[in-house]
Amino acid sequence: MKPSLSYTYLSVVSLIIYLICQPGLQAQSGAREGAPPNVIIIFADDLGYGDLGIYGHPTIRTPNLDRMAMEGQKWTNFYVGASVCTPSRAALMTGRLPVRSGMAGQTHRVLFPDSKNGLPAEEVTIAEQLKEAGYATACIGKWHLGHKEQYLPTNNGFDYYFGIPYSNDMDNVADFAAVGGYFNFWKSPGALRVENFNVPLLRNTEIIERPADQRTITRRYAEETMGFIRDHKEEPFFVYLAHNLPHIPLFTSKEFEGTSERGLYGDVVEEIDHGVGQIIDLLKAEGLMENTIVVFTSDNGPWLPFGVDGGSAGLLREGKGTTYEGGMREPCIFYAPGMIKPAVITDLGTTMDLFSTFSKLAGVSVPDDRVMDGLDLGPVLFGQGESPRKTVYYYRNDELYAVREGDYKAHFITQGAYGGHAKQVHETPLLYNVNIDPSEQFDLAEKHPEVLAKIRKVVARHEAEMDKGVDQLKDRE
Ligand code: MG
């Protein structure tokens, strides 16, 4: 990131605010003297890099997110910890690569409704961190880190939970074989019936609805978030709003049905954007906006085999399930007017960094008894300097497939997903400059052996300190 001169004044103001927000120093304006900022992390499911207006989609209208990106920070090199749901969520929650907690297994890629395990109790979550600093904490939406009571959000640092505990296509009761298999099912008449997916809706640990009425779930998640904000506006709060959509099956409320030029997928994304706008309006009306940081990103790339019912990674290669850029690079917007310096950020960041960044702002130290992967993005957010992150690891299951170091990404192993190309181990890794060539088309391995040598050293260091956790995804009832 190269700060321009026109931002000098803004930088100074941002720096002062950042320093005031630091633990030990007293905070400025806002409802609560000396309080750390409220945090809202909004996590979409399977939304691709190219699925927001501000990230280049020509027909999906996302005016609220677009405005937040313009008035806040739009990150263009922001990554998740894995290319599928469960491990990606484990990474965000723990600030660690999911392979360390055992939430990236060998036999299964995600947890299922008959999975026996979940996020191990010894893992420290971002919610537990913020609770320690006195935050009220809520998880609204998809959890997917274990559906049994001991693994639910209420046992992982959240005071409150409302949501579907795993993917919205699970507990399916339709006869897939009769219609030519899972990927064909969606084209069959009557596929998009709420009753086909017998997923539970939980409040805290109790099932309150089954099947969850997915037509209203996006709207209800936004409403629950606003209810929690109203109830906890006098204290610091953390809301993790993890939408089940736009993961298939796609459902929208009546109000959004048939409204987007992009079709049903667009309807769904536009309803999510609408809810984000309502939450921002509430924060402003309650005088909370100047002390609240809102982050929007997605858990992994688009589920491409679903065609027009899946999203788009824009100019990035491939999608969900792969370690190509389309699988793991996501839109990411940080919004906090007056606190976060507006900019387009090309520095590297990951969802694991949210753990470290918000722990620091809350004045809680990160665990020092384990390897942490998160880094503090504060310097970039508050206009002080560049991102401390220079490296991104791309794991598939518990295996390291690729590494990005600065501008360059080396693929040691490549593999498609959901019927894509077979696993290929590259004796000479594929090497792309993903800043110049984000579509990963032009292999530079021959031209830049010195870059490959450098990345191999990074890998050797990484593997020397890697202690993989016991596979938590393997066992099923
Ligand atoms: Mg997902």
| Residue 287 Cα to ligand 1 middle (Å) | 33
Q: What is the pLDDT of residue 186?
A: 78
| Span 101-126, average pLDDT | 96
Q: What is the pLDDT of residue 50?
A: 98
| Residue 229 Cα to ligand 1 middle (Å) | 26
In tens, the pLDDT along 290-315 reads 999 999 999 999 999 999 999 999 99
| CATH (domain of 334) | 3.40.720.10
Mean pLDDT over the full length of the chain: 93
Question: Choosing from 57, 108, 144, 147, which is the catalytic residue?
Answer: 144
- Compute the distance between CA of residue 250 and CA of residue 264 in angstroms, rounded to an integer: 7
| Residue 168 Cα to ligand 1 middle (Å) | 10
Q: What is the pLDDT of residue 192?
A: 87
| Span 452-470, average pLDDT | 97
Q: Say which DSSP state 476 is in.
A: B
Strands 73-79 and 329-335: antiparallel
DSSP string, 399-435: EEEEEEETTEEEEEEE--SSS-PPPEEEEEEEEEETT
In the annotation, is 144 catalytic? yes
Give the domain-ending residue among 338, 368, 388. Answer: 388
Q: Which two tokens stand for residue 143?
A: 């959890």
| Residue 38 Cα to ligand 1 middle (Å) | 25
Whether residues 261 and 359 share a domain: the answer is: yes
Residue 475: inside a domain? no
Whether residues 378 and 410 share a domain: the answer is: no
Residue keyed to tokens 């870059």: 451
Whether residues 55 and 188 share a domain: the answer is: yes
Give the domain-ending residue among 332, 365, 388. Answer: 388
Residue 294: inside a domain? yes
Question: Residue 246 above 70 pLDDT?
Answer: yes
Question: Choosing from 85, 108, 139, 247, which is the catalytic residue?
Answer: 85
- Compute the distance between CA of residue 318 and CA of residue 244 in angstroms, rounded to an integer: 22
| Residue 46 Cα to ligand 1 middle (Å) | 4
| Residue 320 Cα to ligand 1 middle (Å) | 8
177: confidence class by pLDDT, cuts 50, 70, 90: confident
| Residue 81 Cα to ligand 1 middle (Å) | 12
Higher pLDDT: 191 or 135? It is 135
Whether residues 96 and 130 share a domain: the answer is: yes
Of the candidates 81, 94, 88, the residue with the CA atom closest to the CA atom of residue 127: 94
| Span 273-294, average pLDDT | 98
Neighbours of 50 (CB within 10 A): 20
Whether residues 404 and 297 share a domain: the answer is: no
Give the domain-ending residue among 336, 362, 388. Answer: 388
In tens, the pLDDT along 114-165 reads 999 999 999 999 999 999 999 999 999 999 999 999 999 999 999 999 999 9
Whether residues 311 and 430 share a domain: the answer is: no
Domain extent, residue 455, equals 393-465
| Span 258-265, average pLDDT | 98
Return phi, psi of residue 385, to 5°.
175, -160
Residue 365: inside a domain? yes
| Residue 300 Cα to ligand 1 middle (Å) | 5
Whether residues 459 and 315 share a domain: the answer is: no
| Residue 42 Cα to ligand 1 middle (Å) | 13
Q: What is the pLDDT of residue 445?
A: 98
| Residue 92 Cα to ligand 1 middle (Å) | 13
| CATH (domain of 402) | 3.30.1120.10
Strands 424-433 and 399-405: unpaired
In the annotation, is 274 catalytic? no
Q: Cβ contacts of residue 204 below 8 Å, gap of 6+?
A: 152, 154, 160, 161, 162
| Residue 392 Cα to ligand 1 middle (Å) | 19
Q: How far is CA 156 from the centre of its chain?
A: 18
Q: What percent of the chain has pLDDT over 70?
A: 93
Q: What percent of the chain has pLDDT over 90?
A: 87
Whether residues 381 and 401 share a domain: the answer is: no
Whether residues 181 and 168 share a domain: the answer is: yes
Whether residues 299 and 401 share a domain: the answer is: no
| Span 85-103, average pLDDT | 98
Residue 275: inside a domain? yes
| Residue 91 Cα to ligand 1 middle (Å) | 13
| Residue 442 Cα to ligand 1 middle (Å) | 28
Residue 400 amino acid letter: L
| Span 367-378, average pLDDT | 98
Whether residues 317 and 288 share a domain: the answer is: yes
| Residue 144 Cα to ligand 1 middle (Å) | 10
